[in-house]
Amino acid sequence: MDDKLMLMIPGPTPVPEQALRALAKHPIGHRSKEFEAVIAEVTENLKWLHQTQSDVLMLTASGTGAMEAGIINFLSPGDRVIVASNGKFGERWAFVAKAYNLTVDPITAEWGQALDPEQFRQKLEADTNKEIKAVIVTHSETSTGVVNDLETINRHVKAHGEALIIVDAVTSLGAMNVPFDAWGLDVVASGSQKGFMIPPGLGFVAVSAKAWSAYKTAKLPKFYLDLGKYKKATDKNSSPFTPPINLIFALQTTLRMMKQEGLENIFKRHERQMKATRAAATAMGLKLYAPDHAAARSITAVVTSDAEQIRSIVKKRFDIVMAGGQDHLKGEIFRIGHLGFVSDRDILTAIAALEAALQELGKATAQVGAGVAAAAKILGES
Ligand SMILES: *Cc1c(COP(=O)(O)O)cnc(C)c1O
């Protein structure tokens, strides 16, 4: 049905009507006083969202561009960096690091499992010459629905003293607690089409004072992604290049919505929806890909050899889009996004559609309705 599409994928995520209306406004000049006021408000609210007094910079780029900026601004060719990987995005940061001739020291875990913080401790403690310049970690690994224990990993990085921690928080920021200042994170990157509730096109990078001192001696080449340019401009409520004005109008709207809901409530909502989705999948006889203790707040991956048929029916019959598996997981899992502008009602709808799809496929192993009942029970508790 036209205009009925419901996105239950981990990006792009649904966009509230207020933000859509902001996107439809006439653009204004990006050097105008009016736009300076918008940048000032948005910058302040981005700091609120990141729980920081440090800089949060906006780039016209997807999340990958923000992450690339977060890596190249603080390092020099040949620098040794730990790149952690337990899924598609972790692998991507290793490719970026190699593309810039960094020396990649990998820490890996199997897809579907969380990274082991002990491995970070051992590598960092063994580095008495302080050769490791950065630790690059994906907080919430969207390809598998696994969340890594960033707090503990970061503690080991702090104990090392020298290395920066560079975090892909693309599907954790705005879904769970990532307190930039309290944890002493150095670089945190994210993208607009995830927890920010607006379409793709903006990338965000938060930068600590320690990272800025590394910036002064970093020698990797950069121009468009030179964060120094963005800081200088942002300090004057401006931008170095023409920014996506209407996306920033939309961001102004959604950040106000987020402030109104409050960080704690936002985190609770994502946790509740994660629990409801997982309980529903289990009640329906489906297998979860990520273990309970490392379940991402923003996405639930379900293991089934019928993944593609299920996705196809859910889309065709119910206008709901769920994500498939990536790389070797294609056809093996499907992923339900519950990130950003997702209400409890959306979870119930998606679960009911899944149950109907399983029935249509003749693959329902539990009584139809068992999933909705399990989800409703959890959603009703709070
Ligand atoms: C979406 C996503 C990104 C960014 O992807 P882009 O397509 O470049 O916006 C990076 N990391 C994770 C974990 C993601 O989910």
Which domain CATH number covers 321? 3.90.1150.10
Q: Given the CA of residue 139, which atom of ligand 1 is nearest to it?
A: 13
Ligand 1 centroid – CA 326 distance (Å): 13
Token duo for residue 67: 């992450």
Ligand 1 centroid – CA 347 distance (Å): 23
Q: What is the DSSP letter of 379?
A: H
171 contact partners, CB below 8 Å, separation of at least 6: 10, 11, 139, 140, 142, 194, 195, 296, 298, 299, 339
Kindly state whether residue 12 falls inside one of the protein's structural domains. no
- Which residue has the least CA distance to atom 6 on ligand 1? 63
Q: Which of 242, 259, 276 is the last residue of a domain?
A: 259
User: Are 174 and 75 members of one domain?
Assistant: yes
Q: Which of 228, 244, 259 is the last residue of a domain?
A: 259
With CA atoms as reference, report the closest residue to 124 among 165, 68, 74.
Answer: 165
User: Are 159 and 64 members of one domain?
Assistant: yes
Q: Give alpha helix (H) positions in 14-103.
A: 17-23, 33-50, 63-72, 88-99
C-alpha distances in Å from residue 213, one per residue of 130, 131, 132, 160, 228:
16, 17, 16, 17, 11
| Ligand 1 within 6 A of CB of 85 | no
Kindly state whether residue 58 falls inside one of the protein's structural domains. yes
Which pLDDT value is given to residue 382? 64
Per the structure, the complete domain to which residue 195 belongs is given by: 17-259
pTM: 0.98
Kindly state whether residue 137 falls inside one of the protein's structural domains. yes
Q: How many domains does the chain fold into?
A: 2
Q: What is the dihedral of CA 194, 303, 319, 359, to 10 degrees?
A: -160
Kindly state whether residue 9 falls inside one of the protein's structural domains. no
Q: Which residues of the chain have pLDDT under 70?
A: 382
Amino acid identity, position 147: V
Q: Which of 259, 285, 300 is the last residue of a domain?
A: 259
Query: Is residue 197 within 8 Å of residue 298, measured between CB atoms?
Result: no
Kindly state whether residue 349 falls inside one of the protein's structural domains. yes
Q: Give alpha helix (H) positions in 190-302.
A: 209-217, 227-234, 245-261, 263-283
Query: Is residue 110 within 8 Å of residue 268, measured between CB atoms?
Result: no
Select from 139, 166, 168 the residue to mutate for testing ligand 1; criterion: most ligand atoms less than 8 Å from CB: 168
H or E stretch at 7? strand 6-8
276 contact partners, CB below 8 Å, separation of at least 6: 344, 347, 351, 374, 375, 376, 378, 379
Which pLDDT value is given to residue 211? 98
Query: Is residue 250 within 8 Å of residue 243, measured between CB atoms?
Result: no
177 contact partners, CB below 8 Å, separation of at least 6: 263, 267
Kindly state whether residue 7 falls inside one of the protein's structural domains. no
User: Are 64 and 153 members of one domain?
Assistant: yes
| Ligand 1 within 6 A of CB of 254 | no
Cα 218 from Cα 45, distance rounded (Å): 29
User: Are 283 and 207 members of one domain?
Assistant: no
Ligand 1 centroid – CA 344 distance (Å): 24
Which pLDDT value is given to residue 301? 98
| Ligand 1 within 6 A of CB of 68 | no
Ligand 1 centroid – CA 157 distance (Å): 23
Max CA distance (Å), the chain? 63
Token duo for residue 350: 């998606």
User: Are 92 and 53 members of one domain?
Assistant: yes
User: Are 98 and 228 members of one domain?
Assistant: yes
| Ligand 1 within 6 A of CB of 171 | yes
- Which residue has the least CA distance to atom 5 on ligand 1? 63
Kindly state whether residue 6 falls inside one of the protein's structural domains. no
